[in-house]
Structure 1
Amino acid sequence: MGVSGSGKSHIGSLLASTLHADFIDADDHHSPASIAKMSRGAPLNDSDREDWLLTLAGLYRQHHDQGKDLVIACSALKRRYRDALRQGAPGLKILYLDGSREILLERLGGRAGHFFAGENMLDSQLHDLEKPGGDEAISLDIRQSPNRIIEIFLSRIAR
């Protein structure tokens, strides 16, 4: 989890590959209306995210019930969003990719063809972000290499 530009999709896909798990990018499950809204530079609100979170929680639960591992790259900005993902999903482990606004803007500037547009969108996410505490996530700095982030995360969940 983390704001746009934190590396969720890249690290999530690498983690899934390492774990031989399925991978879902939550961005692929936004409604067309939400994608259009973000493309116009308008941030999503809690109502926009409600069905999206239910869909993601259902996908996690489905994989869990089938005994399959799943990695989801999802912003999960607020604790209640993370709680929605945890419903019916025992054992959910959350990796929070933490980075400064400057690093995030730099990364977003190098991105092409993504519907998440503009500095104001990042600022909206940073405003909405409720950083998870140690009771709900493992927080790691995005300045580390993706492989190092995965290594640290896996060592911490193994404990």
Structure 2
Amino acid sequence: MMLEGLPAFSEYVIRISTVARGRPCGSLALVVYHLLGDMANAAELALSHYFPLTLTEPYLQNSSLGSPYQKWATFTNEDFGTLDECVRRVVVAFTTRNISDRTAIAELCEFGHANLRELRRLNHELALWLRSNCTMDELTAAHDGTLSDACLG
């Protein structure tokens, strides 16, 4: 799950922005504290607002946004988009304030690439599972509750 890496990312940014490697604790630590708080609040909202709902909830019915799925997807995407923006703000604040600290930038890149490798590994495992458990017709047929009502094929 995308949220799995947030605690490790947060711990890493806290360590780098405080006294690790002789960096003095200062304004960056305070900025990171507030940005990580925003990130935690956004994660909580994303996980508890529309994401856990079923499509049979009364307030998802007869929406001006379209089908119950379309309303659910709209608000779920907005909530996770807010979380994504919070993560971006942490990265930007951290790197722009420490742009001359090439060690910190290199460490952040290494951390990001390690998570990217894990994401690619998981995506590959899903692709293998899909190939062994589904036919092409099943994969490309229109499904109720997918991102599109149209067929992919």
Larger Rg: 2
Interval containing the TM-score (normalised by the shorter chain): under 0.3
TM-score normalised per structure 2: 0.26
Considering fraction of residues, name the structure with more strand.
1
TM-score normalised per structure 1: 0.26
